[in-house]
Amino acid sequence: MLRLAVAALVSGFMVTTAAAQAISMRMHSLAGPTSAVWTVSNQNGSISVPTVLPNYALGALQDHGVIDNPLYRYGEQDYKWVREETWRFTNTFIAGVELQNQTQVDLVAEGVDTVADIFVNGHWAGQTENSHREHRVPVTAFLVAGNNTLTFRISPAVEAAQLRSAAYPYPVPSLQEVQVAPFNFLRKPASDFGWDWGPAFAPAGIYGPVKLQAYSSAFVEAVSTRQMHLPNGSVLVSVDTALRGALAGETGTLVASFLNDTSGWNATASVTLPAAGQKVVTLEIMVPPEAKRWWPAEYGAQSLYDLRVVYLPSAQGGRFTYSQVRVGFRSVRLVQEPIPGAVNQTSFYFEVNGLPIFAKGSNAIPMDVVPSRGRSPVALRRLVRDASDSHQNMLRVWGGGEYYADAFYDAADEAGILIWQEAMFACAMYPRSAEFLAEVRKEVAWQARRLGSHASLALWGGNNEVETAFGWFAPSRDNPKLYAGDYIALFVDTVREALLSVDPDVIFVDSSPSKGVLSQAPFVKSWEDSWQPNKGDVHFYDMTPERDAWDPQLYPSAKFVSEFGFQSFASFPVFANQSAPADWSRNSTLVGFRQRKLGNTDLMLTQLAKHFQVPAANASAGAPPGAQERLFKIWTYQTQLWQARAYETAMSLWRRIKVDAGASTMGILYWQLNDIWAGFSWSSVDYGGHWKLLHYAVRKTFKPLLVSGTFNATTGVLVAYVTSDVAAPLTGHMLVELVPWAAGSGDGPPISNVTAFKLPALGSAPVFNASILPWLAAAGVSDPKEAFVRLSATAVASPWARGGGAAAIGAAQRAFPRLSAQAAADLVVAANPQEGLYSTYTVLLGEPREATTLPAAPNVTLSAFWLAAPDTVCFTVRSSAVAGFVALESSMVAADGVTAAGYFSTNLFMQLPWEPRLVNFTAREPFADGAVAAGRVAASLSVLSLGDMLTVDPADDLQ
């Protein structure tokens, strides 16, 4: 009877998580907008301001005007004193009878950053040493009736790291290019101490929930799931439930049940807690083959099922507690096998539900110098949407930053974004003291259990570039055996073992980049050169002044590119918000201050000069008003155009060589998706969410159908390729058009050729291969550099994919034998897009700087603005001559004054005088002012193109 009662409770009682916590263990929250106010004060009490958690001292001081925006100009230097202070976060709360009447009261705090002493009513209650995990501190003995005082005293992170490093028995080196302390000795985001893309605020604060949990009987503390996919298509789901109890010997009933009209998908067990504390209980649920699968974006739907776990104590009057997670049924394999027909080549790719997946994505970093702001659900969901809207299907959570809050992984589940999750270690050797390893073990196990149910979680990585870093430092080069022992103790014996304790089937790579292992059982590293492209993953940054980032031959035939990239400068509206007009020169002190990668500015200027006429840094004396701003905008545009074309060149190459046995490239994760301030960086999205030109190039290059091409200036041969990530054969047409730079509005369509093609599922092939020298002669173009080629391709899925039914499912399984029937059925639906597939690509036949007929004044106009939807304004783009690589930019921001208001449907395009173009500006939130929004959008826009480089006053001394 008890089992029936509990099952009815699971299926019929629907409450929110917050409500469930209130019922379960009398939770008293001390963080959040409706919770009590805290006081933030420095050591001597000369500064004291109120705040609401989560927040940091840096954020609280800005909120109350003690400091200005820390990102404005030299705020990093001006407010260095903030990181050097000891900060107290103090709260007064009432311990009512709902707390006092329970057997046990724990303080539970997540994200205390970092070294903090905890005091309750003046009594020392505990200490935190790790910002990457939750801390649970018993406080029953310290509470009194009525008012109670809780204080977190947070020590300066820089000093704490230096003290730990100095006390260690031998040197443990870390990256020290711009970093202000040995970050490897503190379990805090490494990038908080400065990185080659951001500042060193090393902030102190609390980014997560703080609460009191009072309980007498056990409650559901956490739930994590594992999956085993059986040959018949069924899925055995293991539900690991962490129960926490106050008393030994307690008994009760545990029920796990899926809620989405899934009758019979449940399991029940009787439970006995042998001791107070945490006990993990595993239930198994057999899910039938017809369950819908979860797929990465653009391969299928993201089907998610709600799983609820309920615990009911046996004792009279015991209250039930529950936790709820979402589960997506999918299998994931990391395939590392010898490649047939290739010598000493090993694959590296992800297979989801039996289908090989080409990973297209980027690396994500912390979003704000005040971490609590960057971890907000709005900010994290925006980050995932920026990836999803640009056709990405994987994000790598980089090991030098932070584990993101739950909203990030929830959004990834919903969007079909696979997550390469790294443990938080990067670019250093690390200590292996017993205390350090114990902290890491708790951290990784806690994070693994927190994230374990997410369908998006594909892989755990041990670190970023730690294996590679052996060659960076004199101590590790001189004594590699010592540091190899440290490495194994930390990443194999601690990180890996902690992950296995939560999920014995976890997919784990110990470092990135790395060449893999000789054996999984026992786990034995190969220790091969991690930069070689024949196996494993690769980070590619091999750039020198004599090389050209626009040359496809620069890029290695790697199996999986988990990092690569080149810098550009922040978009002008974003930098303008953090600077003064005196800073708007590429030679200004502030622009130099925002470059954290030694030598990269000169390298970038060398690259720009290969392709463009680079404007002078400063306008000449007597130049008209606005000349300096215009010079700076043109230079910023050049850096972003150069970056975008470099990424487009590399990513197009890697996508099309996936079918070459000697390459077999199956993944691109560019560096980097987002930014933390306005300056030089590798990002495609500025701080605040403004899309740089690179992000538009990414969106075009990552589309399921890709057209790309190369031109051989010596032979005059153009080769055009079509690449597909559609899991069905395609039929289509490619249009090849020759466009002279000098073409005018009366010239009409250019010389062109249409070629039909057929492409196998997930295929890639050249479609056009011919000399275009006769075309140039026919067009009256004497030199290839005076023209470009525009490629465009359209395609539809083959009839079997569109037809559906058993025949289509059978065809899909013949194409991909590892698919289950349900997975094949899902793919058949996904391969039948409502609209045809389309892609374009521009092939330059020479350098823009050498084109003598490039129009200097193409007269690009924006007109006919109208509100097409609550969040969309449409307008028309026209030009009187060919406008190369048109860049639209909006200075419009949201109400917070920082977040970009929206983005364009297309950007960085070739505008032809005979082709008016309709462009949408999509706001992140619906416009509040209705039809008036069209005028506001119009007023916020500016436009640049290649021709603008030619219209700078000669007195400004173009280089």
Pairing mode, strands 235-245 and 27-29: unpaired
Helix (H) or strand (E) holding 632: helix 627-656
CA 881 to chain CA centroid, nearest Å: 39
Q: Residue ranges of the alpha helices (H) in 832-931?
A: none
Asked whether 30 and 91 are in contact (CB, 8 A), the reply is yes
Report helix angle 627-656 to 600-611, nearest 10: 80
The 3 state secondary structure assigned to 416-439 is CCEEEEECCCECECCCCCHHHHHH
Structure token pair of residue 413: 């589940």
Distance CA 787, CA 743 (A): 9
| Cβ neighbours, 10 Å, residue 37 | 10
Query: What sign does the CA torsion over 524, 527, 532, 538 have?
Result: positive
Helix (H) or strand (E) holding 796: strand 787-797
- Give 746's DSSP letter: T
Asked whether 738 and 789 are in contact (CB, 8 A), the reply is yes
Count CA within 13 A, CB hemisphere, residue 834.
0
Q: What size, in residues, is the chain?
A: 959
Per-residue b/e over 92-131, b at no fewer than 16 CB within 10 Å? ebebeeebeebebbbbbbbbbbbbbbbbbeeeebbebbbb
| Cβ neighbours, 10 Å, residue 429 | 23
Give the closest residue to 161 by CA, choosing from 58, 83, 54: 83
Asked whether 666 and 347 are in contact (CB, 8 A), the reply is yes
Structure token pair of residue 308: 């609820």
| Cβ neighbours, 10 Å, residue 735 | 17
Q: Strand locations in 208-367, DSSP E?
A: 210-215, 219-229, 235-245, 251-258, 266-272, 277-287, 305-313, 321-327, 332-335, 349-352, 355-357, 359-364
| Cβ neighbours, 10 Å, residue 571 | 26
Distance CA 373, CA 750 (A): 51
Distance CA 381, CA 915 (A): 36
Report helix angle 377-388 to 406-415, nearest 10: 30
Residue entry with tokens 């590119």: 561
Asked whether 654 and 360 are in contact (CB, 8 A), the reply is no
Q: For residue 683, give the 3-state DSSP assignment.
A: coil
Distance CA 641, CA 946 (A): 10
Give the closest residue to 404 by CA, choosing from 456, 360, 447, 359: 447
Q: For residue 148, give the 3-state DSSP assignment.
A: strand
Q: For residue 386, give the 3-state DSSP assignment.
A: helix
Asked whether 842 and 910 are in contact (CB, 8 A), the reply is yes
Count CA within 13 A, CB hemisphere, residue 174.
23
Which residues form the catalytic set? 465, 563
The 3 state secondary structure assigned to 359-380 is EEEEEECCCCCCHHHHCCHHHH
